[in-house]
Structure 1
Amino acid sequence: MSADPVVLQRVDGVLFATLNRPATRNALAPEVVDAMAAAVDQAADDPAVRALVLRGAGGFFCAGGNVGNFQARLDGQAGTDDPVAARNRVFGRFMQRLAALPVPVLAVVEGAAMGGGMGLACAADLVLATRDAKFALSETTLGIIPAQIAPFVVARVGLRAATRLGLTGERASGDLAERLGLVDALAEDGAALDTLLAQWLTRICTCAPGANRALKPLLRRCGREDEGMLLDEAARLFAACMRDEGAEGIAAFREKRAPVWARRFDASELPGDAA
């Protein structure tokens, strides 16, 4: 069993990052967050990485913040450099980096995604889960708030659903989680979840890796910048893609063959439980 807080494994350009603290249900202790941040940086900086998959060891995605560390933070002196606020903001900066990653991010949820764990899922582009997996903004039941994950939850499920979940601590699973927009696709059990993941990775790897890296940041800018300036930049990106991977993609289409970047995945190829 690995002692690393996050275990990294790579399969044909897909980077698997598995939270590896099953004894605490993969709670987001500082060393776990730091290791996840390093994984995000690796995925961003390595052009050979085509997707990032987030999982949890021991059949549990993530229990959220490490409550055991909260008291130590409270013992620090509040003031201009409040240690509680400072550490909370560290997690928020990590969330920003995760959401801005230019490659597709998939969260694969078993057991539960609670609090900050649900935030991780909401920052992903695709969320796959077993039907009995639970999602909850549980912070308010502890007398605190989901401060750093709030923007990402709202971006994923909308203000109305985020308000419902945040102000009630309601646990959503199965059909409700899918209906609220927390989950993109459901599987009946862990084995079916691996099959589902392989299917989605195959779809992602049918797309050109450079085109995906260009498109995702462009989509995030839509609605936030001047439309004309954004479309000017989009035209330049289109031309760059056309002169690069586009030549191969068009040739493959005409020749009725798969492009050179296409890759099929099978559930048997996926990394096993890190724990």
Structure 2
Amino acid sequence: MVQLERINEFANLPSEAPETIEDNRPAKNWPDQGTIEFKNYSTRYREGLDLVLKGLSFKVKPMQKVGIVGRTGAGKSSLTLALFRLIEAATGQILIDGQDISQYGLFDVRSKLSIIPQDPVLFAGIVRENLDPFDKYSDQEIWSALEHASLADFIRSKDERLEFLITAGGENFSVGQRQLVCLARALLKKAKILVLDEATAAIDNQTDVIIQQSIHNEFNDCTVLTIAHRINTIIDSDMILVLDAGQLAEYDTPENLLQNKDSLFAKLVEESAK
């Protein structure tokens, strides 16, 4: 009966928006700037539940590096879900390069963004398939991405190289190596917008340094949103966005926020130092 109950639940789940809307596809080079703008944006996880993001309005300029901070439950991860349209708007809009992302299909939006998540996702298959599931890139491009992600030597040490079999969930890779595979995917994709969703929260300091250096060197012409677990990873961002209970509390440069000892960001920095 439990199985039947689950089947019934899945059968009645409302469908997501269509993958593509044939008469409204974005330009091939969209987004070519990487501007992100939230306009009075609110969302909830399900109809009837409370709003998790409330009236957010802010703009991220092309190539800016923005750190997103806030206490647990402030809405940091919800902002990422909203950008990828895993949850849809209750009110307001999200614009990328001036285009409302709700007017496009989900594939056309999500395929234009890169993410390095907190929990890296690897599936059972060879290295090449994990990095390039749609077979779009050459071996040379894949090796270049692995080099920049500091994984090339490890893959070369395997007899099968790019044909090396990754087990389900990446169990034959360390947690740090799994995260570097996600970094290599992002390097390969070369999207204009990269999201780091607490990507370094569960890894060792050495891997953290590799990821931070790669982002600094390889994504300098991209817009980067970093949801921070460790304050030191976003302290040198161009802008800091502080969320509090789903609302925009502060949005300014780190220098300006730290000079104001009453700012929420200054208090979060002080708490992290203890």
| TM-score scaled by length of structure 1 | 0.29
Which structure has greater strand proportion?
2
Higher relative contact order (CA 8 A, sep 6+): 2
Which structure has greater helix proportion?
1
| TM-score scaled by length of structure 2 | 0.29
